[in-house]
Amino acid sequence: MAIGSGQMAVGAARRGARRLPDAYSRLSAARSRGARGFTLLELMIVISILVILALIAMAQYNKTVLAAKEATLREDLHVMRKMIDQYAADKGKLPQSLDDLRSAGYIHDIPIDPFTEQADWQPEPGEDPGSTSGEQGIVNVRSNADGTGSDGTPYNQW
C-alpha cells in the first residue's frame, strides 16, 4: 500500500506539474494582454482632457497678463500725473514736455506704455494756472494705446 500511495502521489504530482505550466501560460497570456498598452479610445480621452485643461490654463494666463498690463498702465499714468503736479508746485509752472520731468529728476525715465511697448505718451497741453501771461504746459498725460480696457473704457481715455 505504501507503494501504491507513493505511485498515486507521483501521479498527482505529475498531473499537477502538467497543470502548473498551463496556469502559468494563462497568467502570462493575461499579463501580455494587459502589458500591450492603452487602447486608442483611452488615449483619445486622456488627450482630450489634457487639451481642455490646457485651454482653460491659457485663458486664465491671458486674463492675468491683460490685468497686469492694465495695472501697470494705471500706475504709470498715476505717477506721471502726480509728478506733473509736483513739478508745477515746486517750479511754479507746468512742464513743457515729459522730458522736463525727467531732466528735473522727478522721474528716472519716461515709462514705457505696456500696450504700445514704447514711451509714446500723449501729453495734454493746458493753460498754466500759475502763469500770469497765459503760458501753456502739460496738464495731463494719456496713453496712445488702441483698444478698450476690461472696464469698457478706451485706454487712450484713462
| Per-residue model confidence (pLDDT) at position 2 | 54
pLDDT digits (tens, 9 = 90+) for 99-117: 999 999 999 999 999 999 9
| Per-residue model confidence (pLDDT) at position 152 | 93
Q: How far apart are the first and last CA of the chain?
A: 109
Is the pTM for the entire model greater than 0.85? no
Amino acid in position 153: T
Band of pLDDT at residue 119, cut at 50, 70 and 90: very high
| Per-residue model confidence (pLDDT) at position 116 | 94
Mean pLDDT of the chain: 85
| Per-residue model confidence (pLDDT) at position 11 | 55
pLDDT digits (tens, 9 = 90+) for 33-77: 556 788 999 999 999 999 999 999 999 999 999 999 999 999 999
Domain residue limits, the chain:
1-37, 39-157
Q: Is residue 102 within 8 Å of 110, Cβ to Cβ?
A: yes
> With 80 as the cut, is the pLDDT of residue 14 above it?
no
Eight-class DSSP state of 125: E
